[in-house]
Structure formats: C-alpha cells, structure tokens
Copies of this chain bind each other. A is one copy, B any other.
Amino acid sequence: MARPTPLSGFPELLPAERVVEQHVLDTMRRTFELHGFAGIETRAVEPLDQLLRKGETSKEIYVLRRLQEEDAEPAAGGQREAERGLGLHFDLTVPFARFVLENAGHLQFPFRRYQIQKVWRGERPQDGRFREFVQADVDVVGAGELPAHYEAELPLVMADAFAALADVGVPPVRILVNNRRVMEGFARGIGLDDVDAVLRSVDKLAKVGPEAVAALLADEAGASPAQAAAMLELAALRGEDAGVVDRVHELAARHGAANELLDQGLAELGALLEVAARRAPGRVVADLAIARGLDYYTGAVYESVLVGHEDLGSICSGGRYDALASDGTTTYPGVGLSIGVSRLVSRLLSAGLVRATRGVPSAVVVAVTSEETRAESEAVAAALRARGIPVEVAPSAAKFGKQIRYADRRGVPFVWFPASSAGDDGAIGHQVKDIRSGEQVPADAATWEPPAQDRFPRVVPGTPAQ
C-alpha cells in the first residue's frame, strides 16, 4: 500500500492537536452541564425525506446505501431509491427535532439538552468549511410554550463556554443578535410583504455589500429604491445597549413603519440586551444586519465572530423557532445555538493561538534495566497509575541514554530508573529524573508526585503566527 494522502474536507488531527480539540470539547461539555443541559447523542443517519424537508440543503446530503443492496438493484433509479433511503445528518437540529417527537413521553419539558457530534455536508471544502465536522449544540425546547427569557439565556451559555476557554488562548467571542419580529415588522411597516425574500437578501450583506443587497431587494422582494435604502439603514444599526432599540424606534417612526410586531420584537431585543449587559458585559451586541436565511426562526437570531478572526465567518449561530417540531397535537418551540467546533479548532491550530504541552498522556517513562527485570518496571508503573499518574514503560531494555531519548522525543518530562539500575553512575534504589533540568532524585513509587502542571498534557496559549 502506497502512502495515502488526505481527503479534502475530512480533516484529521495529530495527537498533540487532538489534545487541543479534546480540551475544547471537554470545556464545552462542562459549561453546558453546569448550566443544567443533559447530553444526548442521536444516530448519524436520518430518513432522507426528513433531511430533505427544508429543500435548500438537498445538494449537501450524503446518501447511504449498503454495498450489497446497491449491487442487487443497479437500475432501481436514483430518485425512488433515495426516497426510502437514509442520509447522514447535516446538522444536529433536524435529528434533535425528531428525537423530541420520538421520545416526548420520556422527556421533561422544557427540555435542556446539549449535543456534540460530527455532521456531514457534501459541500466544496474551503478554509474553515469541511465535509465532516463537529458541532456543539445547546437547545431548550418546550411543549406548547417556551418563555422568551430563554432567548437571553442561551447565547449567554455559549458566551460562558468561550469565556472558559480564554485562559488557553481562545480569542473572545462577540455574539451578534437580532430579532426576526423586528426585521419582519420593519419590512412590513415600510410596505415589503415578501419577508422571506427580504431576509434572504439582507442575509447576504456581509458577503456582497449594500449595493448588491439593494439590487437583490429590488429583484427578489420588489423593493423600491427608498424601501431598499430603509432596509439598509436598519441593517446598519448596531449597539450593546438599549440605545440601539431607541434608534430602531426612531428609524421606524421616520419611515412611518411603527407597528405592533416591531414593538414586540424590540421589547424582546431590549430585554435580551439588558440581561446580556448585566451577565456578560461586552459579549453580546445587537446587529440589525443579522438575518439568518432559514425561514423557521421566529424570534431572536444569533451569529458570532471570534474577535480578530472575523474572516472565519460565524462560529456560533442559531435562534428561536416556534415550531422546532410538531406531532399534530403538540408543537414544540425551541431556542438554541450551535458552535462550529471544527472551524474554531482548525483556526486555533493553524494560527498558532493554542497548543498542547505534549501529545502523549504519559508524565513518566519507567526505564527497563533488562528484559529479565521488566516486571519491576511494570510494578512501578502500576503504583504510579493507581494514584492517577499517567505512565508507560520503555519499549526495550536499551541503553538508558536511548530510553531517555524515547521520553524526550515525546515530550514526556520524567524518566524513572528502577532499583535494579542501582550501581549505574552510583545511584541507589529508585530514582526519577526530570529530563528537562537533568535533576535526578531518589523516589518512592508509593508517594512520588509530579508537579501538578506536568501530570497531564495541558493546553496553553501558543505563539500566534502573524
């Protein structure tokens, strides 16, 4: 077998990089659990008809087929086969909605859940955009109703998760919020009734700029130049406090666009900003350009940028939906956000923002004096492990210099010389060497402790590449 080459869009990490990713995942999990979210996982596959319900993502779906099945029905025709087939999930929201319906009788509502899993999209890979990647989602789902205060709470859970990563070098996050009722109320107030077309157009603002959006508004939402200008005026507003709400009110008054829906949306947005300013000052900013193209959002919508890495695009997005799922009898409203973990971690690594102190768990390599005394080295290792110290035994009874190099190449800080090595350079009994300083001292496997910072690989700020 020749040396294989990587598959574009399917990134893999080396052990030291995986230590960084694992730390990010562990920190998110811990944050979500401190906020009372229960962890679930759903299967990787969903019936294709469920995945296709939204239509627009159909091109990105990976369809599954058993190889045997395929051979047996070569001419069955793509479409019919696909309809009764399975596809890999492309997000965690569709599977979660299905899980809620399927298990509603076993869940307590409002149901707070987090879910950290891989998802797959057959998109063209590019920087920060993969075909296989990890998402970390939190959602709260109610049965029948869900109070608006969750729209303030959920982005703050995510802000907490990023804050908990600040000490290892993860840049601050800025969560941009808007409210669909504000967008819809304003659009209708100025006479634009095709709200979906308005939202889809404004959603492209960051990518194509205001002139192109004005053209889109004219073409797709039938906006006059004045209507398009008003929408762009709205989309230019941003701010951290109630002042931005006042400015929207003023703008709406100036265009004669005030209405009940707009007022309700602005009240919700103002309440969200007030809670955010108190609990996570500076982390949450109202940005009236945030539209989120997907038509199922009904209240707050969120996008987030990593400060200094805005080119990455949104790394944490979501919103409020009044009908996450419905079984005909009960409708389940929800609010949630999803972090693009792979996108985040790949930037942390490629920009050198974060690194691991080593790629192997071992804090100690126990040297082997001779293969006949390997049992002695194994006993030392077992004694250290029993006290929670990660340790491995050297692969062979090579010269000690070679065994030290074995540890050194892996970044393992300590080499333990068992008592059977006594006599070599005058040492007596068990000895442990810090191979960074060269210091070697007598040690007892029943009591010796490495310094706390050496026990496990740690994740620390890197030296950013500029």
Contacts and interface: CB of A to CB of B under 8 A. Distances in A.
Interface string A50-91: 100000001111111111111100110111001000111000
A59 B70 CA distance: 10
A1 B3 CA distance: 48
Interface stretch (A99-107, A190-198, A313-321, A436-444): A99-107
A1 B326 contact: yes
Interface string A360-380: 111000000001001100100
Contacts of A64: 62-64, 88
Given A1-B326, A99-B12, A361 B41 contact: no
A103 B14 contact: yes
A8 B303 CA distance: 37
B38 A15 contact: yes
A392 B36 CA distance: 5
A44 interface: yes
A452 interface: no
A370 to B, nearest CB: 12
Contacts of A147: 395-396
Interface stretch (A112-120, A178-186, A209-217, A236-244): A112-120
A53 B117 CA distance: 29
Contacts of A4: 50, 98, 101-102
Nearest to A42: B12
Given A12-B42, A64-B63, A2 B132 contact: no
A389 interface: yes
A456 B32 CA distance: 13
A333 to B, nearest CB: 12
Contacts of A43: 7, 10-12, 132
A172 interface: no
A37 interface: yes
Contacts of A41: 12-13, 18
Nearest to A360: B38
A39 B19 CA distance: 8
Interface string A388-409: 1111110110000000001001
A290 interface: no
A63 B61 contact: no
Contacts of A98: 4
Contacts of A207: none
Interface residues on A, range: 35 or more
A78 B70 contact: yes
A33 interface: yes
A87 B101 contact: no
A275 interface: yes
Contacts of A62: 64-67
Given A64-B88, A67-B61, A112 B392 contact: yes
A5 interface: yes
A278 interface: yes
B132 A34 contact: no
Given A68-B59, A77-B74, A325-B1, A33 B88 contact: no
Contact of A15 (B1, B39, B65): B39
Interface in A406-459: 406, 409-410, 456
A308 interface: no
A79 B68 contact: no
A309 interface: no
B14 A375 contact: no
A168 interface: no
Nearest to A62: B64
**Most chain B CB within a 10 A radius of its CB, from A63, A88, A106:** A63
A32 B385 CA distance: 11
A418 to B, nearest CB: 15
10 contacts: A12-B41, A12-B99, A15-B39, A35-B385, A58-B67, A62-B65, A63-B64, A63-B65, A67-B87, A275-B378
Given A1-B328, A36-B391, A44-B132, 15 more contacts: A5-B102, A6-B102, A14-B107, A33-B361, A34-B388, A34-B389, A35-B391, A35-B392, A37-B361, A38-B359, A38-B361, A62-B65, A64-B88, A74-B77, A149-B371
